[in-house]
Structures are given as C-alpha cells and as structure tokens.
Amino acid sequence: MVLDTGSELSWLHCKKEPNLAFIFNPLASKTYTKIPCSSQTCKTRTSDLTLPVTCDPAKLCHFIISYADASSVEGHLAFETFRFGSLTRPATVFGCMDSGSSSTLEEDAKTTGLMGMNRGSLSFVNQMGFGKFSYCISGVDSTGILLLGGTRYPWLKPLNYTPLVQTSTPLPYFDRVAYSVQLEGIMVNNKVLPLPKSVSVLDHTGAGQTMVDSGTQFIFLLGPVYSALRKEFLLQTTGVLRVLNEPHYVFQGAMDLCYLIDSARATLPSLPVVKLMFRGAEMSVSGQRLLYRVPGEVRGKDSVWCFAFGNSDELGISSFLIGHHQQQNVWIEYDLENSRIGFAEIRCDLAGQRLGLDIKNLA
C-alpha cells in the first residue's frame, strides 16, 4: 500500500489488469459489501472527499479522486473487515478501484492500493481508531516503518513538536483535513532567508497553508519563498556544483535549478543544510535529500540532478507541501490526540532493525 497522509479514502485495485501484480478480489471475500448510493454512509460520511460522490448505473456509491500529480482513480465504495495485529474493524469503508489514470504506471504496478491517512472521517487512521501513528522512510531502498498507536523507544531521540493549524471557519483554499503546520522561516547554513511575515500566513482564502504530505514526492514552496531559497542555495553552492545551463529544462514542471554531477562519483559533495523552521520545531534537509537524480537524464559523463524543492505556483497549487523525499531518515509522529506533529532525525534502516529486535523480544 502507498501511505498517503495527504488523502482520505483508502482504496484497492479490484480489477485485473495486465500490469498489476496484486489485486483485491471482492468475490473471494465473505465480509465484502457494496455501498449503495441510497445509504446514509454514501450521503453523510463522504463530505470530506475532494470531489462529491455520485450514483453509478448500478446504483452504487461512485467516487473519483484526483491527485496533485494529475493522476486519478475511480470506483465504488464498499465495506470490508480490516485486521491489524489483534485489532479487527468490521464495516470499514474503502474504495474498490476499477479504473484510473497515472503518470507512474511502473510504480503503481508494485502496489495493491493506497492507505489514506489524513484527518478526514473516512481516513484509515480514523476508522481504525488510532490516536497516533508514526513512520520513518529509509533512504537506502525506499522501505521503512509504519507504527500504528503511540509508543516510546529508548533508542529514539526526543521529538520536536509543532502544533497542527486549525481554522474556525471554512476557507475555499484551506484543506481542513490535511496535517497543516505553521512554517515560520527557512535557513540555509545558518543564514535566515529574508522573507516577509505575510508569506507564511494564511490569507483570507486559506491560501498559504503548509501541509506535511507523504503522498507528494518533493517540497513545494510558494513563488516568492521558492525564489529566495533558490537564489541562496545557488549562491552557497557556487564552485561546489556545476549548474545545468539549459534555460528551458524544468523537471516536473516546477524545478528549474538543476546540476551536472559526474556519473562515476559515489557520493555528493558537501552541501549547505536547509532548515525548515516551524512553530516549536525544526526539520533539517541535508545531503542526498537536497537533490534528486533524474532517471535517464545524462549529459556525456554527467548525470542530471535537480534541487529537490519546487515552485508551487508553477503547478497551480496555493500552498506549501512537505513531501516524502525530504522526510527520509526523519521519524515523524502524527499525534491526533494532542493535535501536533513531532520530528526526530534517525537512520531509518537502523530503526527498523531495532524495532524488529524489540518486537522479537516482546514475542
């Protein structure tokens, strides 16, 4: 499953396709029940979904979900029993997905579906009744840890917490079920970027919120903030990195600062640390998490690497997004009970080994 803190509905591939390795077969389940559009669940529990549900020709509760990367999925809602360890939750609502469009077909083929983990009423974490969950994404092989429930480990550093931002009134551009935090500033190697206070404050429409989103790949910043960071990073890497001088080359439509790095080089040169300052907490982005090697892009003996921060304005997004590339090797706790998010830097591959030992010892 893809773990997505930026979306609500969990869904599974239910239709056999040539490229899919795994699907969920509803006919093989005794506890699977389709949700008709006349039901209260369809009428009242779907209000937080990004697009309203509709009634399909079979009178089933039909959903369509579109994501920031322009992919979309659709299918019908159903009830099923979900089990995690000793916890069993009958009549959990999920999406049985039978069609969709994607820009990453190869990646999608490796998964059975998506686990929606935001704060909406139909999110997996809310339906299962967990007051906390944590995860850690490894930079080694894209594996990691998902921990449902709250636990403290002696090998985990104390977490720095930042409160979740709420609004008392609905605003058109504010996603009220997202994990929103207050971005107060950005530093590049101890130099604070000269940003006006208004940049990181919500405007009257709700634009300018900062969302922690594991379903987005990179960090995206609103135009003025992106420009200031780009300028400072470029300045501090002069003589360290060679800029790709191709004015029309823009990676993923929003990342226009790219470099040429010798393909034979085993490690990246020493780079400045970018520090995101939230209310009460900080998140440092360093080393490999600052850049992204673009697959298949080669110039002679060099590979193309792009600065892994993008311009939200170029994607038509009116918010700041903290994606999973920069979340690598950071333990992140989503504390719904206390309305806060905690961060601690850690080697996730080692944390996985220690957690495995802890579980073995408990058994």
Q: What percent of the chain has pLDDT over 90?
A: 69
More confident residue, 352 or 281: 281
Q: Would you state the pLDDT for residue 357? A: 63
Say which range, 9-18, 75-84, 194-203, 245-254, has the weakest mean pLDDT: 194-203
Q: Is 108 known to be catalytic?
A: no
pLDDT at 85 over 50: yes
pLDDT at 108 over 80: no
Q: Average pLDDT for residues 101-112, to the nearest whole number? A: 66
pLDDT band of residue 139 (cuts 50, 70, 90) is confident
Residue 32 domain-assigned? yes
The DSSP secondary structure of 204-221, one letter per residue, reads TTSTT-EEE-TTSSSEEE
Per residue in 206-255, pLDDT tens? 889 999 999 899 999 999 999 999 999 999 999 999 999 999 999 999 99
232-238 own/partner pairs: CB under 8 Å, 24+ apart: 232/188, 232/191, 232/193, 233/188, 233/257, 233/272, 233/274, 233/290, 233/307, 233/309, 236/188, 236/189, 236/191, 236/272, 237/271, 237/272
Measured from the Cβ of residue 71, the count of other Cβ atoms closer than 10 Å reads: 15
Per residue in 266-276, pLDDT tens? 899 999 999 99
Measured from the Cβ of residue 96, the count of other Cβ atoms closer than 10 Å reads: 22
Is 270 found in the same domain as 311?
yes
Is 191 found in the same domain as 77?
no
Q: Would you state the pLDDT for residue 107? A: 63
Residue 134 domain-assigned? no
Q: Average pLDDT for residues 168-179, to the nearest whole number? A: 89
At 80, list the tokens. 């099923």
Is 311 found in the same domain as 165?
yes
Q: Which of 4, 108, 175, 335 is catalytic?
A: 4
pLDDT band of residue 363 (cuts 50, 70, 90) is very low
Per residue in 16-75, pLDDT tens? 888 788 899 999 999 999 999 999 999 999 988 888 999 999 999 999 998 776 778 899
Is 124 found in the same domain as 70?
yes
DSSP category for residue 30: S
Residue 142 domain-assigned? no
Is 237 found in the same domain as 166?
yes
At 348, list the tokens. 């996730």
- Let me know: does 10 contact 97? Beta carbons within 8 Å: no
Q: Is 358 known to be catalytic?
A: no
At 238, list the tokens. 């002069």
Q: Would you state the pLDDT for residue 270? A: 95
Q: Is 221 helix (H, G, I), strand (E, B) or coil?
A: strand
C-alpha–C-alpha distance, residues 51 and 71, integer Å: 14
Q: Is 264 helix (H, G, I), strand (E, B) or coil?
A: coil
pLDDT at 141 over 90: no
Residue 149 domain-assigned? no
Q: Average pLDDT for residues 189-205, to the nearest whole number? A: 87
CATH number of the structural domain spanning residue 229: 2.40.70.10
C-alpha–C-alpha distance, residues 103 and 14, integer Å: 20
- Let me know: does 9 contact 122? Beta carbons within 8 Å: yes
Q: Which of 175, 213, 256, 335 is catalytic?
A: 213
Is 69 found in the same domain as 206?
no
Phi, psi angles (nearest 5°) of residue 156: -95, 125
Is 124 found in the same domain as 177?
no
pLDDT band of residue 362 (cuts 50, 70, 90) is very low
C-alpha–C-alpha distance, residues 171 and 66, integer Å: 20
Q: Would you state the pLDDT for residue 288? A: 92
Query: Which range of residues forms the domain containing residue 52?
Result: 2-129
Residue 150 domain-assigned? no
Q: Would you state the pLDDT for residue 142? A: 58
pLDDT at 354 over 80: yes
C-alpha–C-alpha distance, residues 206 and 212, integer Å: 16
Last residue of a domain, one of 129, 144, 178: 129
At 168, list the tokens. 């008392």
Task: Tally the domains of the chain.
Answer: 2
Q: Using only C-alpha atoms, what is the Rg of the chain? A: 21
